[in-house]
Amino acid sequence: MSILIKLSTTLRDMVPGYDPETGLSVSLENGEESVTAGDLAARIGIPLEEIKIIMINSRQSELDSVVHDGDRVAYFPAVGGG
């Protein structure tokens, strides 16, 4: 099992080789049962101040929301273009 991370628009630039079709799979470290959405973002090199919307399993969440093995986490920056 692992956590599936999906990145939106400019956040994709911050993870070299990121593929939007597959997303990014991250395994929890030994002994971990969960991690916060903020810690998870930091592990893959996304600055927390760049994240404006977090969706865990398609539901809006926050940086301190808990992510479990098997969850799908999507991070969005400010998307404000018209």
One residue of 8, 14, 15, 68 binding another protein per CB under 8 A: 8
Q: How far is CA 59 from CA 16, 17, 18, in A?
A: 26, 26, 23
Q: Which stretch binds another protein (CB under 8 A): 2-10, 26-34, 39-47?
A: 2-10
Contact predicate 35/28, CB 8 Å: yes
Is residue 9 within 8 Å of 76, Cβ to Cβ?
Answer: yes
Side-chain-side CA neighbours of 21 within 13 Å: the count stands at 0
Q: Does 80 bind another protein (CB under 8 A)?
A: yes
Q: Which of 20, 25, 47, 70 binds another protein (CB under 8 A)?
A: 20
Report, in Å, the least distance between residue 2 CB and another protein: 20
Asked if 52 is part of the footprint of another protein (rule: CB under 8 A), the reply reads yes
DSSP 58: T
| Contact flag: residue 81 with another protein (CB under 8 A) | yes
